Structure 1
């Protein structure tokens, strides 16, 4: 069985724990005959963390060089083709996919969450790019339905992070229990007033439950300032916990009773560890996850103006909320491994 050189492309090396978790999941699922070549915003850190060859995603010379010497080009999970956060981002990923085609590489779009696609031109580009891929797999029903409408075949399975191996977090069990994790991020709809109300509600929640609050930034540039602001006002014990290894980040939720999360992958990681979850949705992917798993929560625009009502809702979730059962979790993990089976089919054998 010959070795296959596969270029892995995603939002890697940019300090976003969700995208790092997707990369870790992909590396875990690659067939043994595949040599990963990772495009990264921080190649040195990516190489150190995952023990793989890594290249600067913004260096045209490095990208051209690695594509010339590869066999396969792969989008490695996540919401790469969407134009809400950036107009340039989908053009970048589509451009690399097109370049890979010109170099004669096999192309794979793996574990994608497609959209939102608000601009007709980006929507058409996405349609053309997906249509030319040898393999497409998606992580949600909405993405699958979009491709179905475009008459593009695809595999559908839960997000691969469900199947990501977790690692223990040093010192976690030395922290006071019970523990509640909070993952908030900057967003235009998370206004200063809403942050203030959520903070007041969390203060009251901590007083009522005597819980240890873990504030967990998934992306320091967008999460850390909010975490620091909240921690400075909490009356009880708390800690801001930043973890660089996504496997440890998933392991963190083994020691948490409840998670209050905006971050999509924070909710997946927490739910996968039998943790009760409460969601604050800023994106359709979070809303879809809430619906699929029956996770209680609010859209950001629906957060109550009354902190007492927020607190009471959280207390009810803490006292009476249900986590996923072991059987439900195992089913999601097993189905997430379909992404691995698809890779094996597409890549095994050289």
Structure 2
């Protein structure tokens, strides 16, 4: 039985990265044993039923690689230097080590960049060129790898295919419901957050909607969720969900999503919600462009809360969710990422 080491930003409390791990495990063929490198191995083992080891322990990682057959970069924006200059060195270093140790290596469902430093780009090119298989989730990543003459597979983000789980008590919240996912970021200045807060109060009063505040990463999102809840104490609720299937399931019970988080928007769209995007990152802007969603780059957020509220009201009243046919197409196409493992298994 092949042993596959799954390497990503797992066990760090980020709902999007947990959703990628859940999707990866969902797509691995039967007969492949998954082993996760995690920031919280006990939690990862309990949640997914796989063996997990400390991603920061050089000894544990070395021992795991020695006993394994595959190495999988498990999805998302791992190779970028916008938020951390060290992150690409960690992931590319592990990929290079796995390749030198003779493991079959897969860069799976990658969203590459931004790569602002020439050294990072050189490192990334070397790591991707040594992989046995590569898949990416967006056209910009595909174009970059093509310019490097690296073969690739392009498919929608795997979270489009993530199976939702029921959320206990969701139906007890008043309908209609609107989900809001904001995160801390330098572009979300106190002034912009204050404008969004005033706009949300106005929007809630106009629609009567119940606001579900979803912190996808408690360390970055919870304080903002608490701030929003404080101005709508009787018409909002903070849902702290760590299971990615339940995060996905929440959106089956809401009418509209206002989101900064990339995977919150994918989960919402996959559940046929209306989506309004607030972009802090090129990957969110690419989603907006691909699906023609209303929204703003945070840097261009209007100063007038009434303008923001009116845009949300327009989306709520007249926005069009993705069609069932489009959602089915994206879900089916996302499964293509899993075909890499079947090809690897047959080599």
TM-score range, shorter chain: over 0.9
The secondary structure found in structure 2 opposite 1:304 is coil
1:252 is aligned, of 228, 250, 258, to 250
Question: Any conservation in 2 of the 1:41–1:56 contact (CA below 8 Å)?
Answer: yes
Question: Residues 143-183 of structure 1: CA distance to partner in whole angstroms, max 9, x if unpaired?
Answer: 00000000001000000000000001000011100000000
| C-alpha distance in 2 between matches for 1:239 and 1:146 | 42
Shift of 1:235: 6.0
Show structure 1 runs of 5+ residues with no match.
Answer: none
Alignment partner, residue 17 of structure 2:
19
Shift of 1:295: 1.1
Alignment partner, residue 335 of structure 1:
333
Alignment partner, residue 72 of structure 2:
74
The secondary structure found in structure 2 opposite 1:15 is coil
2:135 is aligned, of 131, 134, 137, to 137
1:305 is aligned, of 269, 290, 303, to 303
The secondary structure found in structure 1 opposite 2:232 is coil
Question: Any conservation in 2 of the 1:4–1:35 contact (CA below 8 Å)?
Answer: yes
Alignment partner, residue 91 of structure 2:
93
| C-alpha distance in 1 between matches for 2:233 and 2:226 | 14
The secondary structure found in structure 1 opposite 2:237 is strand
1:167 is aligned, of 155, 165, 169, to 165
Show structure 2 runs of 5+ residues with no match.
Answer: none
| C-alpha distance in 2 between matches for 1:348 and 1:145 | 28
Pair 1:7-2:13 in alignment: no
Alignment partner, residue 82 of structure 2:
84
Alignment partner, residue 32 of structure 2:
34
Equivalenced residue count is 347
| C-alpha distance in 2 between matches for 1:237 and 1:310 | 19
Alignment partner, residue 242 of structure 1:
240
Alignment partner, residue 286 of structure 1:
284
Q: TM (normalized to structure 1)?
A: 0.98
| C-alpha distance in 2 between matches for 1:225 and 1:322 | 31
Shift of 1:293: 1.1
| C-alpha distance in 1 between matches for 2:64 and 2:345 | 18
Question: Residues 108-134 of structure 1: CA distance to partner in whole angstroms, max 9, x if unpaired?
Answer: 100000000000000010001000000
| C-alpha distance in 1 between matches for 2:228 and 2:241 | 19
The secondary structure found in structure 2 opposite 1:278 is strand
Shift of 1:348: 4.2
Question: Any conservation in 2 of the 1:210–1:236 contact (CA below 8 Å)?
Answer: no
Alignment partner, residue 320 of structure 2:
322
1:211 is aligned, of 206, 209, 212, to 209
Alignment partner, residue 264 of structure 2:
266
| C-alpha distance in 1 between matches for 2:106 and 2:26 | 17
Shift of 1:347: 2.3
| C-alpha distance in 1 between matches for 2:233 and 2:166 | 28
Shift of 1:101: 1.3
Deviation beyond 6 Å, 4+ runs, structure 1: none
| C-alpha distance in 2 between matches for 1:237 and 1:132 | 53
Question: Any conservation in 2 of the 1:184–1:223 contact (CA below 8 Å)?
Answer: yes
| C-alpha distance in 2 between matches for 1:11 and 1:124 | 22
